[in-house]
Amino acid sequence: MGDALGATTEFLTPREIRQYHKVHRDIVGGGWLHLAPGAVTDDTEMSLALGRSIIDRRRVDAVSIAEAFSAWMRSKPVDIGNTVRRGIVHYRSTGRPKIDQNEQSAGNGACMRCLPVALAYCRAPVEQLVSAVHVQSHVTHNAPLSDAGTDTVVKMVVAALQGGGRRSMRQIADALVSGFPAFRYDGRRVENPSGWIVDTLRAVFQALFSTSGFEEALVDVVNRGGDSDTTGAIAGMLAGALYGREAIPLRWSNALDTAVRQECEQQAISLVALANGGVQPVIEGTGISNHG
Ligand code: MN
Ligand code: MN
């Protein structure tokens, strides 16, 4: 939802957004990718690829996830990040579903697609949850800041699903800031957030904690411009978990691409059923190559 909304304003500045839209608050497509109204981008498509793998395997399985991402790249997506492409190419050429740690992979690409892990492991012990997040992340992104930020988002979603409310979400965000002060979000307003995980999450946290509804939070974050489809996607996970599906404006649900909306709904049901029925333990990549 946030991806479809924010794709229109991706890479615009807040000033340009004001000029074209006053306040951007409708799913109308367009943007630099010239999207049809309701179309989504890599953020949603990779989430759905991840969700398919988890539902199929009844667990997070590194090789299955890497295969799902590789199949998605083969489908000629409308947009794909450089770090994501590198990670998938690495898997294709080595058979290893995990890249080596490197600071350059601290983009927001692992975080933008993490929701299916949060749903499937929402009742699992926190160590399982975190190891599941890392396995999906490390296919393409392996950096301490990316891990810390993505772990935090997943934990916040789970806390909200468990009824912890904004107070518990805020505690989790503040624990991130204690460990990694770069994520401080109490300063001046973040505009034009980049694709760096730190910038992205600072904008998302500001928007989430300064508003009191799903629509308000998403409108706030995408009107900051920059990587707005991704800030929209992440704010959508957090605000969706916090406010529930009734809070989603009907005009947004109706505008979203029908096939995408239906797959999102079906996956959410299947992933929560998996969580309730007992998700299987994570399978990490062995590093053994069968691709030569
Ligand atoms: Mn995108
Ligand atoms: Mn983006």
DSSP-based three-state secondary structure for 244: coil
How far is residue 38's CA from residue 61's CA, in Å, rounded to a whole number?
31
Q: What is the pLDDT of residue 288?
A: 53
Residue 287 CA, ligand 1 centroid: distance in Å: 29
Ligand number with the minimum distance to the CA of 44: 1
Residue 152 CA, ligand 1 centroid: distance in Å: 20
Q: Note whether 16 and 32 are within 8 A (CB).
A: no
DSSP-H helix ranges across 108-143:
115-120, 126-138
Backbone angles phi, psi at 44, to 5 degrees: -75, -40
Q: Residue 207 contacts by C-beta under 8 Å, 6 or more apart in sequence? A: 217, 218, 220, 221, 224, 231, 235
pLDDT in tens, 106-137: 999 999 999 999 999 999 999 999 999 999 99
How far is residue 119's CA from residue 157's CA, in Å, rounded to a whole number?
8
Q: What is the pLDDT of residue 286?
A: 66
Residue 127 CA, ligand 2 centroid: distance in Å: 29
From the number of C-beta atoms within 10 Å of its C-beta (0-12, 13-18, 19+), residue 204 rates as: buried
Residue 153 CA, ligand 1 centroid: distance in Å: 18
Q: What is the pLDDT of residue 193?
A: 98
Q: What is the pLDDT of residue 287?
A: 54
Q: What is the pLDDT of residue 289?
A: 47
Residue 178 CA, ligand 1 centroid: distance in Å: 29
Residue 10 CA, ligand 2 centroid: distance in Å: 7
Residue 195 CA, ligand 2 centroid: distance in Å: 7
How far is residue 273's CA from residue 100's CA, in Å, rounded to a whole number?
33
DSSP-H helix ranges across 162-257:
165-179, 197-209, 214-222, 228-243, 250-255
The rounded mean pLDDT for the chain is: 96
Q: Residue 127 contacts by C-beta under 8 Å, 6 or more apart in sequence? A: none
How far is residue 232's CA from residue 230's CA, in Å, rounded to a whole number?
5
- Low-confidence stretches of the chain (pLDDT < 70) are 286-292
Q: What is the pLDDT of residue 260?
A: 98
Nearest to 29 by CA among 10, 42, 11: 10
Residue 230 CA, ligand 1 centroid: distance in Å: 6
pTM of the model: 0.97
- Tell me which residue has tokens 């953020």: 43
Residue 81 CA, ligand 1 centroid: distance in Å: 8
How far is residue 154's CA from residue 149's CA, in Å, rounded to a whole number?
9
Residue 74 CA, ligand 2 centroid: distance in Å: 19
Q: What is the pLDDT of residue 285?
A: 79
- The token duo for 215 is 């629509």
pLDDT in tens, 86-112: 999 999 999 999 999 998 889 999 999
Residue 30 CA, ligand 2 centroid: distance in Å: 14
Residue 217 CA, ligand 1 centroid: distance in Å: 18
265 sits in the region (left: phi over 0; alpha: psi -120 to 50; else beta) called: alpha
Ligand number with the minimum distance to the CA of 228: 2
